[in-house]
Structure 1
């Protein structure tokens, strides 16, 4: 790995210093001018706040410098260990360096020609115009074509920013909050500057309690600032008057606009350019009478998202639309909003489809509705637990409505009230917990729909965000992973832009469970409750298994053909050839799989895909009888991802998860050459493997152990040995 190699060559402290120097050079090379300032009625207050911020950043006492230098070594050491604990691969490190490497120190926004100094003698005496040409000749206009090299504008790289929402900081102890502050400071050293929004819950309607709520959110905001400041410069600062509140009502369906907006962009951008973390309470000033009013933290996050994404340029009735467009482009090039980070005591988005109970990766384009319905069902079930057992379902819904305002949302969104799966973990969620999860899910969807596809969201607990990567305390355990450093999900996500582990990875492959219950089933409480989300891509499956499960072809089911108009065959062929880097014999391929296609999975615009077939084991007659159809084996014939999408975006995980979850939950088999570099990925996701003797093939399957008998295993082996490749190169490979 690149970072690890740097450590071996230069040592821990040197590597930590180098990583920090990247961020320092970035801040030093940035411009402090802001041409997009919005003036407001309370502008004097904002101006004074900027002056105080400038003084606090420039007036550093010698004592403070000595203290910071005294603390730099332990901070660098812990920071270095935390980065190494993230275990970024060489490809991940290369992508990170390409995205976050700052410009060189001598790079500026524009190159100007040097100004000629007055000519002097060797003794340093200025001779003015006595030694040289006449002044009139020297100052006469010259029609000379200027050099293009001198006037070339060098675009400044965008400032990488993360929006961080911390929910219920009043419930966090000082140690946890200190760990969160340390992690946010480390993210800044790695080039990702955070903007923190403080969420202390909704404000009570009672005026007396509302005043105490404002005092609490102010106290918690200052507490978060102190937790960041103790980890060295540049630290953090409170920005409590940048958010404005308009009285115009905006439809909830249109989240590109809202009543909360950023009135003072300069208050936000000035600390960000200096590497200072703005900490913003969920409060805003009304546009008309300048009254301080409470806001929901999600409203503030969306307002900051719209501002940093360049969707709120200065608009006037007579503004030229072309100028507005240019201003939006300028704002978008100024900041790159790369991450939304939600630190919630409840953790990531729960699901009933995984043993550990949490979504590992959420493809919002495909899985948002399913995840939302799952949460609504859990909310309904949680509310029912507190109701009397007598009465009809309609009466229960009425009772929920009288005691739980969230029921209106449930009734208006859920399509039905099916009972949860008996094997699904309940995790002890109440309807209030599910409401918080639904709010987080809705926030992630709205933010990612505004941002570019490269942006992502991470939802985890403050305890996980506070993890420094140190060795766990307690007695040594010979089994399990007791001596392995625990990854910090925030730093790991920054370096890799991936979840802590692959979403297509079986839970049993994540390492030994924390403990075993009395019933013998493992406990997955040690698995990080973290969810990584992206806007993602759509997944199209032909035929749709939700309409009818995939079944072997027969007289009444002729099967799918690749010539089906719903399938773009040229793009599918290009996907296979680009992924395998080999030319496909299309005619031979179509002839071989004709009448045997089980289905096709397509991710996005043919960025990834899988083609699955039904294969007959050797010796079984192909007569279409029920006996032969029962012996047909589901076989993964082609699994392909475009080269430009390999290792990023989770395309392979999306396709594989759709295959084993939606298409063949009872198992599928495939084969791969023993020297295939993808085999490690296959080994991790399969239930079993078998090296086929006297051949160059390795067989894989995902069939549960209880369903794999001797006959099925032999059928798998016979199919994997008998399938003939359909490549156009006709290379004599020893298989």
Structure 2
């Protein structure tokens, strides 16, 4: 090609005018050459050499610029979104896409060479391939190792469902595509399910307009990904199969399955994002039918997790075991990402209005019950026109979802109809939230505990992190991060779920104050999580100071595994605990114990008496007792991951001591930053090495209580 380009440039001088005399000085003897002789060939070679050197220089310059851009991209993302510990964890978990095994590199190089040969327009087949060497027999001692190496590096995959893309503008779609491309550069490939939220069901006849809408929206997503990175995207609309026998029976969790795994894995292996519409094909008749997006997500989850949709009868169990192990080693499904215009899961009992972090093991039932609260009443019951505001509640009933609009001034039938519409919209939204919650639960129950789910809006997924800064007041400033990128790097939500709402404020140019709920990203991060056990259970009775003569919880109680609790404390603090002395000091004043998981973390809380108060069990003495956090411990292997500390802290301040608790920490403790962010106030006690923290509202307004706190922690 280089010779052809040069010939085209010099054609008039060399090719088209061979008969014209060309003059020039020889580099050695100063002679003049004529015709197309030696002088012309020498000049041509010099031109070729200069062009070749120029091309090499441009290639090297392009490679340097690409490496610099990659370095800047990774450094800027890691530096702005992750701590050193989180960045290290990310680098250990995610294998860079370019770090291929020798086998993969060889096959990739061969494929590129063959592609280059095919690019000239001539099908050379295997003429240039070293078939004699490749097809010759090889005698190896351990063929199973060769099979394992041929798999290449494990693919890290995120399963993304984009709901209602037809309602999104091009800017948002392009932003989502840019974010998915960035995830791919960071080592997390995406499989996108486009859910147009059609009213069609599995048993309805496919409408041509519905199919056209599916294709149109899928192509919008593909174009956005193609324009945003090198990976690109591809429409995969024939990978989902539907069991015809189940289709006749109606809905079912096992209705859809991945019929052709190779069609799904081939683009992923090549770094291409598969985009899948919500359409499936029956097994026998190959008839296209609409399939619910949740069914497709579950089918993809089972396939990528290495769970077969159908087992071959009479197959050797050892062969099945080896095949399933190979499938699981090929792909790691790390994330479920639900991009929904409604955002995260709402919560009526939280100040920000939605769940920041959902510990599914502990909080799923409560979150589901909260959503069902508005769905249990019959919304179709007859609406009556109230005679006046006084009769409003009695006419509609307190169980009706309309009862919370009791303060609405009714001006006629139009107001009743407006109220009906608003209620129907809210019920519809809660149904979507409930489906999202159920889907997250089902997916995480299939995947290993390290996997997680993220529910956010497409607008937040399209956020580049440059528009609206995010600030945790009193802790330092930090730009608002893209929740998908931040979650990939940290395996955490954008901000901690145990952070008080008063610490969260969005920086805005508007002078009027904005409520924290309006300035916080409506994103829910969910993990299978772990159970949180509290002794005694505050749901049965609130924690109160001990009463003389009544039994009190002790650390030697059969409910508590004392050896494991001691190991937890020693591992977290890095030193041995004098168990007997510790029991002697705290056993008579235990307020309660919080245990996360299998003693992966815990908190031990006590009732402390101020030094100027007589500890005689009297009502006056008990009223002055101080709720004190004596030990807060997390196993070293669980520190900084899994949200163990957040689970314990939330249980302490929301369930056990909602009115406030106090604790102390040495000024040199590296955990103090975490304490500063979650406390309502701090006090560096003069003349000591201690800092006092508390969560009690407006403690500074109560001088006696403040002095009791200070005296109790120093006693």
TM-score above 0.5, yes or no: yes
The Cα of 1:107 is off from its aligned counterpart by 2.8
Deviations 1:424-448 (A, max 9, x none): xx99970111111111011101000
Matches within 5 A, 1:241-280: 241-249=238-246, 258-280=254-276
> Helix, strand or coil for the counterpart of 2:322?
helix
Q: Does 1:458 align with 2:451?
A: no
Alignment match of 2:209 (pick from 203, 212, 218): 212
Q: TM-score, normalised by structure 2?
A: 0.76
Q: Does 1:281 align with 2:277?
A: yes
The Cα of 1:104 is off from its aligned counterpart by 4.1
Distance of aligned partners of 1:556 and 1:376 in 2 relative to their CA distance in 1, 3 Å threshold: farther
Contact 2:498–2:678 (8 Å) recurs in 1 = yes
Take 2:378 and 2:626, find their aligned partners in 1: how far apart are those partners?
42
Take 1:694 and 1:439, find their aligned partners in 2: how far apart are those partners?
57
The Cα of 1:158 is off from its aligned counterpart by 1.5
Bigger relative CO (Cα 8 Å, ≥ 6 apart): 1
Distance of aligned partners of 1:590 and 1:77 in 2 relative to their CA distance in 1, 3 Å threshold: closer
Matches within 5 A, 1:456-535: 456-472=452-468, 485-511=479-505, 522-535=515-528
Deviations 1:337-370 (A, max 9, x none): 0000000111111112332212111100000011
> Helix, strand or coil for the counterpart of 1:719?
helix
Contact 2:100–2:153 (8 Å) recurs in 1 = no
Alignment match of 2:558 (pick from 539, 553, 565): 565
Structure 2 unpaired stretches of 5+: 1-58, 107-138, 403-421
Distance of aligned partners of 1:539 and 1:249 in 2 relative to their CA distance in 1, 3 Å threshold: farther
Take 1:201 and 1:149, find their aligned partners in 2: how far apart are those partners?
46
Take 2:140 and 2:324, find their aligned partners in 1: how far apart are those partners?
33
Matches within 5 A, 1:153-302: 154=149, 156-204=152-200, 210-249=207-246, 258-302=254-298
The Cα of 1:524 is off from its aligned counterpart by 2.8
Alignment match of 1:309 (pick from 302, 305, 312): 305
* Cα RMSD, aligned residues only: 3.9
Structure 1 unpaired stretches of 5+: 1-64, 112-143, 402-425, 723-735
> Helix, strand or coil for the counterpart of 1:511?
strand
> Helix, strand or coil for the counterpart of 2:267?
helix
The Cα of 1:522 is off from its aligned counterpart by 3.1
Distance of aligned partners of 1:512 and 1:152 in 2 relative to their CA distance in 1, 3 Å threshold: closer
Take 2:424 and 2:482, find their aligned partners in 1: how far apart are those partners?
26
> Helix, strand or coil for the counterpart of 1:430?
helix
Deviations 1:181-238 (A, max 9, x none): 0000110011100000011113336979933222211211111111111123220000
Alignment match of 2:712 (pick from 719, 722, 725): 719
Distance of aligned partners of 1:704 and 1:147 in 2 relative to their CA distance in 1, 3 Å threshold: closer
Q: Does 1:689 align with 2:686?
A: no
> Helix, strand or coil for the counterpart of 1:594?
helix
Q: Does 1:90 align with 2:58?
A: no
Take 2:596 and 2:83, find their aligned partners in 1: how far apart are those partners?
25
Q: Does 1:703 align with 2:699?
A: no
Distance of aligned partners of 1:84 and 1:369 in 2 relative to their CA distance in 1, 3 Å threshold: same
Take 2:178 and 2:514, find their aligned partners in 1: how far apart are those partners?
37
The Cα of 1:315 is off from its aligned counterpart by 1.8
Q: Does 1:351 align with 2:347?
A: yes
Take 1:71 and 1:217, find their aligned partners in 2: how far apart are those partners?
39
> Helix, strand or coil for the counterpart of 1:185?
helix
Deviations 1:279-338 (A, max 9, x none): 001110011211111111111000000000011165221211222122111111110000
Take 1:381 and 1:556, find their aligned partners in 2: how far apart are those partners?
48
Q: TM-score, normalised by structure 1?
A: 0.74
Contact 1:110–1:152 (8 Å) recurs in 2 = no
Q: Does 1:108 align with 2:103?
A: yes
The Cα of 1:101 is off from its aligned counterpart by 2.5
State the structure with more CA Rg: 2
